[in-house]
Structure 1
Amino acid sequence: MPDLPLLGAAMTVADLESLQDFCVPGALDQDWAPIAERARALLAGYQGRLGIHGPFWGLHIASADAEIRKVVARRMMQGLEVCDYLGATQMVIHSPYITWDYHNLDNFAGRVAYQNVIEHSHQTLEAVVKRAEEVGVTLVIENIMDKDPDIRATLAESFASSSVALSVDTGHAHYAFGSTGAPPVDYFVRRAGAALQHIHLQDADGYADRHWSIGEGTISWHAVFRALAELDSNPRLILELRDKDGILPSVAWLEARGLAC
């Protein structure tokens, strides 16, 4: 990566005027086309890479309940419909792994607990992955409570599809590091390796999911960008901040340190 990485941002359509609308609870229960049309109009002339955050609230992709899996699959399919409509080529979905898993998956004979998570995820996403392949969308699995930085890679690889890859959320990784004993953020980046195609950039304190502007928290950004420089996968670097007014100051903070632009 001889040039500075180029930053993007995660925003709702309303924020575009001062695209995460489709992950808001209830958004897919109504006609989402007007929101998508507004987004298309605001993005007219935009030539860069575009993605959305898929639905996630209450939607566990590895539920043991078959009826829940049907609901989750339907929501994911709706997310892909939005991607197809907008011309988006990535959709963020959430990891099924929680801190409990790290301490308990080996609490059963063999690797049956590991396999259960993978099998349930496939039962939920089999048709979704096929549809993603058809419409040219990559599903990027984002770490949420993952303490093990490698376990999502095993899940992604199990689909044997170019439409399933990894995302790293820096604030989630820093929370896991500070509160559950996970490796630091740059380890999550480095160990994702070539499968890493998306990153949510947010700063945090290691205690909670802060979504602060870059420089406000305690993440070692130099270490993160050194790890990024080792990769050839060219992941999309998306500023996902709670306060969207912090987007440009975050860009300036990273640019001033020669990390991104």
Structure 2
Amino acid sequence: MTLPVIGAALGVGDLPAYRDWLFEKDRDLELQSFWSAEMLNTESWKDPVAEARRQLDGWAGRLGIHGPFWGLDFASFDIDIRAIVAKRMMQGLDVCEALGATQMVVHSPFSTWDHYNLDMYDDGRARIFETTHETLGPAVKRAADAGIEIVLENIEDGNPADRKALVESFASDALKLSIDTGHAHYAHGICNAPPVDYYVKSAGSLLAHVHLQDADAHADRHWSIGRGSIHWHAVFEALGKLDANPRLILELKNRAEIPASMAWLEAEGLGQ
């Protein structure tokens, strides 16, 4: 059995240190330097885009970015806030097109509050679906035209089926699912959500991206793989059964721990 090739989330400034590692297996890469409003509003992102293209010349892996996310809620009840969120999505796609990136990670609108309260309202989920379509719909259409996937990452989601149903409601190949293993493990510990491998099974063929990080089921640790309490063999067994080829991206708080994470995954026979 061929082990999956693992990639990483890096800043443009990290590329020189990890260039050889990325190139040796054309590992997937998610650049996380292009999310701030200050950068996107001033177009100061153009210089790091040029530097990234220079550093990655000759590399043949799949390239994505983490899109804007701080304070951005697709399902906000405030129409003016939704307009700003929609603008940020378009700015993220500007970066993708300039980079030649084919994927952009964005954050789920479902909250922990929703997990415990949506079922009180007859139209709770319908309202989230409606506002998310209004906010994200233009970006999904543009992404489809540009050959870019937008992937919706779980943040506080306690029920993976809700986010899957939201993605399915768009009926577009340009919107798929992302799983952050640490976020799912947090929800498992705090919200009585299912374990991480169940999130993978729920996503099925819609899964296009995974943030790999370890945690303790209490907080969003972004620890080195093997340091926390996620059941990694179950996660990779579920990944291996998918009719999909998601990008498997190490997203660590301390990027210097990428070699330690890779050593653990290789020793356990889970990845290369």
**TM-score band, normalised by the shorter chain?**
over 0.9
Q: Deviations over 1:16-69 (max 9, x none)?
A: 122201123522122210010011111111101110000000000111111111
Q: Deviation above 4 Å: which 4+ runs of structure 1?
A: none
Aligned pair partner of 1:74 in 77, 87, 112 = 87
Distance (whole Å) between structure 2 residues aligned to residue 25 and residue 217 of structure 1:
33
Q: Which residue of 1 aligns with 2:68?
A: 55
State how many pairs are aligned. 258
Match of 1:92, SS state, is strand
Match of 1:249, SS state, is helix
User: Does the alignment pair 1:37 with 2:84?
Assistant: no
Q: Which residue of 2 aligns with 1:193?
A: 204
Mapping for residues 98-137 of structure 1, pairs under 5 Å: 98-109=111-122, 112-137=123-148
Distance (whole Å) between structure 1 residues aligned to residue 14 and residue 192 of structure 2:
35
Task: Indicate how the Cα distance of structure 1 residues 252 and 24 shifts in structure 2: closer, same or farther if over 3 A, else same.
Answer: farther
Are the equivalent residues in 2 in contact too, given 1:21–1:27 (CA < 8 A)?
Answer: no
CA RMSD of aligned residues (A): 0.9
Aligned pair partner of 2:103 in 67, 90, 102 = 90
- One-letter amino acid of the structure 2 residue matched with residue 212 of structure 1: W
Distance (whole Å) between structure 2 residues aligned to residue 242 and residue 42 of structure 1:
23
Aligned pair partner of 1:147 in 129, 153, 158 = 158
TM-score normalised according to structure 2 size:
0.93
Distance (whole Å) between structure 1 residues aligned to residue 104 and residue 86 of structure 2:
14
Q: Deviations over 1:101-129 (max 9, x none)?
A: 111111023xx111100000011011111
Task: Indicate how the Cα distance of structure 1 residues 99 and 9 shifts in structure 2: closer, same or farther if over 3 A, else same.
Answer: same
Q: Which runs of 5+ in 2 are unaligned?
A: 18-30
Distance (whole Å) between structure 2 residues aligned to residue 96 and residue 77 of structure 1:
18
Q: Which residue of 1 aligns with 2:263?
A: 252
Distance (whole Å) between structure 1 residues aligned to residue 256 and residue 37 of structure 2:
24
Q: Which residue of 1 aligns with 2:236?
A: 225
Q: Deviations over 1:147-192 (max 9, x none)?
A: 0011111000111100000000000001111122111111111111
Q: Which residue of 2 aligns with 1:236?
A: 247
Q: Which residue of 1 aligns with 2:3?
A: 4
Are the equivalent residues in 2 in contact too, given 1:194–1:233 (CA < 8 A)?
Answer: yes
Percent identity of paired positions between Structure 1 and Structure 2? 57
Aligned pair partner of 2:35 in 9, 17, 23 = 23
- One-letter amino acid of the structure 2 residue matched with residue 229 of structure 1: G
Q: Deviations over 1:74-114 (max 9, x none)?
A: 100010011111111110010000111111111023xx111
